[in-house]
Amino acid sequence: MDRRRAAGATALLLSALLLIGVCTALAGNGYRLTETTVDIPVPGGTVEAVIASPDTGEPRGTVLFVHGDGPVDATHDGLYRPWWEAAADAGYTTVSWSKPGVGGSSGDWLDQDMDDRAAEVSAVIDWLAEQPGTPPGPLGLWGASQAGWVLPKVAAERDDVDFVVAVSPAVNWLRQGRFHLLAELDRVGADPAERDRAVADSDRTRELLAAGADYRTYRAGTTDPRPMDPARWDFARLNFRADATADLRALSERGIPVLLMLGDHDLNVDVDETARVYTRLLGPDLRVERFDAAHSLARPAMEESALLGVATAVLWPRALFAPGTLDAYRSFLGRVRS
């Protein structure tokens, strides 16, 4: 009898915990948004996009999301929705699309250089301008990481981009790669011999990129235990010369507001260099916000513990981000002039 009671109590407890988890997940993943999926024509095909609009009131502006590296879908597996909600609270509709070859988008993002990516963003802007439901107010670009080589290029060339939000961008492709390599070696506690081998291999890879080497030559010359695959090697050959300096200088001539958001625990990007370069080139048009955060602007603990990060992403995605991150974004949008 006692065993049956104990088993029943355990089952009841587990059921209660499951119910609490489900309710928490439902509450944590409910957003003040209305989402619509559309296909947008871009050079070389179409992209599958999500338009996330405020639940109430007429939107006062639009933000286009420009992804970082990798095969990212329109919602970034749901991680963008807290950002979209913050924008909606400020009265903005967000437009985000899956990269070429991801979800319902045609093409292959690994075939793109940064000029291709900029042309894709411009095509979406042109499409939006023709849609009757597009908010008539300010239009801005939000972009993370690799988007740092896309945002200033687009915003400098177009007079219909009214503001930019740059999240953890780098300035120079090769310097960013070297910073990330050294930061990772420090993180894992590599000894001097391991560091020397890794740096020497990185130097060899740079030489092969500069020489335009094919993939077979690269594989024969690298000792990297995790070498690039052929498509990634071709992508690196297309983009390793990327540097945002000239585009940032051109952007400064437009005089539009730019929000630079950086994490002080970023292992991917030298945020001190980024802050210096952006401040020097953009001057009074720039607002810099730094957070106790990792590269994604998540709390450092979320990236240090995969289990904690996944659990938080499932149950309460807003809690992934460092304190003040979404508030700073919302506040910046609220100050953009119509």
R_g of the chain, CA atoms, integer Å: 22
Of the pLDDT bands very low, low, confident and very high (cuts 50, 70, 90), residue 13 is: very low
**d(C-alpha 238, C-alpha 233), whole Å:** 9
* Least confident piece of the model among 120-124, 223-227, 231-235: 223-227
Q: For 86-96, what is each residue's pLDDT tens digit?
A: 999 999 999 99
Cβ–Cβ under 8 Å, residues 262 and 271: yes
Q: Is the dihedral of CA 229, 234, 240, 243 positive or negative?
A: negative
3-state helix/strand/coil string of 258-298: EEEEEECCCCCCCHHHHHHHHHHHHHHHEEEEEECCCCCCE
Q: For 37-54, what is each residue's pLDDT tens digit?
A: 999 999 999 999 999 999
Cβ–Cβ under 8 Å, residues 171 and 243: yes
pLDDT value, residue 21? 37
Of the pLDDT bands very low, low, confident and very high (cuts 50, 70, 90), residue 3 is: low
Q: Yes or no: is domain 29-172+242-335 CATH 3.40.50.1820?
A: yes
Of the pLDDT bands very low, low, confident and very high (cuts 50, 70, 90), residue 305 is: confident
**d(C-alpha 263, C-alpha 291), whole Å:** 5
String of DSSP letters for 132-156: TTS-SS-EEEEEEGGGGGTHHHHHH
Q: For 259-304, what is each residue's pLDDT tens digit?
A: 999 999 999 999 999 999 999 999 999 999 999 999 999 999 988 8
Residue linked to tokens 């992403």: 313
Q: Where are the domains of the chain?
A: 29-172+242-335, 174-239
Q: For 127-162, what is each residue's pLDDT tens digit?
A: 999 999 899 999 999 999 999 999 999 999 999 999
